[in-house]
Structure 1
């Protein structure tokens, strides 16, 4: 009985010794399950028992024979989808990790050819990876399983919804290209204990990510580059792998829903020059256009982030068009004021002529248009400055015949006297009539000159703006 117990103790020591001699690839791959066994009936259970992978013996420390040598972890990351809201970069990330665990080794031929198997992730040590730019805790359910291989390599895959900070440069919005970074590093391990390796071919990384991507929403994935560097943290250096994702915004939706409508409103403002300035229709029409552009600016304010270093060109576009429409509205007000000035002058003249016509009607005079034709009664009134009643009171009987003769002589030549009065009246009428037409002609000339200047300045503004918009370089975040 004692002999059997001693034999079992030796077997356990030998098996433990074999498990501790299997940290390097240069060893003979001797592990706890490398001894010859009979054909296994339950390979999965036998491998777990052989490797002591039970919940009572969780391996929660870094697996290494020599603690002075780092554990190399191969990492590979892919972007599954991208969203951008309020200067935050929402990405759906797929992270692949592969490392060597010296405690994991078995001979597949001893376990029915079993080369790899999936076990609960809590049974093994895993690299404590974190994304430095993450600002919200990942809400996805972590992968509960991990894959182990017979040669000692462990494979673990994680899918994360990463809400990270990314400074967006919107100077060229919506024709902008953005670059955001995701930095993978360990939470506590320095680079002396944990280092990362990755594919250094950026072209392959880009193509692989493009195949893995499921949803790009409003962003068009362009490229992904990867590099590593050592960064100091708490008096020790850590190895960090930095993935830089470059994306371009899909601008078609913004062109159709924003840029083109604003440009069409501006075209309507140009078309308003054919509307008559005499009424208030043109003024109300231009005010309506200004209100529509104001609504578009409010929509733009909800789209653009407020932390941009420069004024975005799309904001310059809206402000410029809004300013041009304000100037057009002011010109309309000036033209309407000049025309109204003429209208007021004409109304005063019409009132004057109406009162004069009423006075002439009381004296049995005839009024035709702007020309006054005075009849005999008007001539009599002009010849004598004294009222008829006074003339009758001072007239003497001996001069009655003389007055009658003079009256008869005037009655014989009424047309000649009428023409004599008509000439000065006509000149006075032309002089007064020319004043109202003067401001109307000035308003029309001002409207024509302003239209050509307005079109020229607007065309130059749009050409220069779109030229800068197209040729400006993308700023780095």
Structure 2
């Protein structure tokens, strides 16, 4: 019996020796944590305590955040998305990790990120986030000061203000939330640094700022990117073809009304502009409010070309119908009498009627051409003034009806 008890005791000692401590991290893995030898207390309990947020007394823990924006690319106004590359430097004080530098003369140590408390960040506007380093390491100083670097690439939603497209300027927000803590436990102090060195983009970053929204139940900070469109591509691809078609239509009004090529010319321009307008509608974004002014501008150009073509077709049809009536109308004298009197004078009424109708149609066409040119010039000046001074206030989002920080609904 004594031998059996001794064997059971030895087996229990072996099991306790082989079982190592493990800490449940925020990742899907549960790696074993190797701590430095100078944490010579009851270290499994020490590790479990360091995963909890550091206690800063009655004040929340202050985390200093520096956001380095290294690149902004793939600005898609049709999908209202922006892709960017960021580097976050998080710094805070955790006195539980401090040690006596005179006893352990080490300047700093590095620890796995899942072996100590780190703020879990979530981007509210993100469609997807790619963290470059899946297992970052935190640097700890002897006084307990912790530095953690996180690199990420993300695609976020952005409410572009496209009223003045292609000379638009929009503010895109990236809101970082620490959903695992409350505002009484944690507070952010954020700063932003623009490290973009490439300017060969259609959209360029004109300003970069950070703020901490007030009255939030969850700790958060917000990074705002001000993007401005360089507009060169849109001007060449959209404005230049539209103005060229309008100028060609005005020049087509100089052709004689009785020329058959004029109708073909006008109809060809109208059909070509219809094809251009259909592709333009697909190239420009749509919005629930404050659509780009270019949509209305090109629609007005379409109506002008349609009115010019219809005027040419109607006047040419009236003139041709008058000529057909004059040719097919009955002669005032019988044919036999006309043959019998070879020296009789022709009836002067017929050319006079034909000439008066032609002169009236040409006069109407000339008046319409002058009115059309004046209308086109006035529309251009009106659009320029509207472009410079027009403003549009977008409709409020449905979530704006309830102020942030209100009572959550469960």
What is the DSSP-based 3-state SS (H/G/I as helix, E as strand, rest coil) of the residue aligned with 1:50?
Answer: coil
Kindly report which structure 2 residues correspond to 1:55-454, keeping only aligned pairs within 5 A, or say none.
Answer: 57=47, 61-65=51-55, 68-79=58-69, 80-82=71-73, 83-85=75-77, 86-106=79-99, 114-134=106-126, 136-146=127-137, 147-199=139-191, 205=192, 208-209=193-194, 211-212=195-196, 214=198, 217-232=201-216, 237-348=217-328, 356=335, 359=336, 365=340, 373=342, 422=344, 425-426=345-346, 429-454=347-372
Partner SS for 2:277: helix
2:405 is aligned to none
Post-superposition offset of 1:137: 3.2
**TM-score with structure 1 setting the length:** 0.66
CA contact (8 A) 1:224 1:246 kept: yes
The worse-fitting range, judged by mean Cα deviation, of 65-74 and 327-336 is 65-74
Q: Is 2:366 the partner of 1:459? A: no
3-state DSSP class of the match of 2:68? Answer: strand
Task: For residue 211 of structure 2, give the secondary structure of its aligned residue in structure 1.
Answer: strand
Structure 1 residues 373 and 436, CA, compared in 2 at 3 Å: closer, same or farther?
Answer: same
Report which of the two has the higher share of helix.
1
| C-alpha deviation, 1:110, in angstroms | 6.2
Q: Is residue 47–residue 116 contact of structure 2 (8 Å, CA) maintained in 1?
A: no
Asked whether 1:48 is paired with 2:39, we answer no
Give the Cα separation in 2 of the matches to 1:296 and 1:107. Answer: 75
Q: Report if the CA contact (8 A) 1:221-1:247 is conserved.
A: yes
Higher mean Cα deviation, 100-109 or 307-316? 100-109
1:309 to 1:66, Cα distance in 2 relative to 1, 3 A: closer
Change (3 A) 1:238 1:216: farther
Q: Secondary structure at the match of 1:263?
A: helix
User: Cα distance 1:157–1:475, how it changes in 2: closer, same or farther (>3 A)?
Assistant: farther
Following the alignment from structure 1 to structure 2, what is the Cα–Cα distance between the partners of residues 461 and 69? 62
Deviation per CA, 1:130-177: give whole Å up to 9, x if none: 22222x231343352222233322111222223323222221111111
Q: Would the aligned equivalents of 1:176 and 1:474 in 2 still touch at CA under 8 Å? A: no
Post-superposition offset of 1:197:
1.5
Counterpart CA distance in 1 for 2:55 and 2:179 is 22
Provide the alpha-carbon RMSD of the alignment: 3.3
* Distance in 2 between residues matched to 1:315 and 1:51, nearest whole Å: 68
> 2:95, 2:253 → 1: CA distance?
84
CA contact (8 A) 1:341 1:439 kept: no
1:64, distance to aligned residue in structure 2 (A): 2.3
CA contact (8 A) 2:131 2:150 kept: no
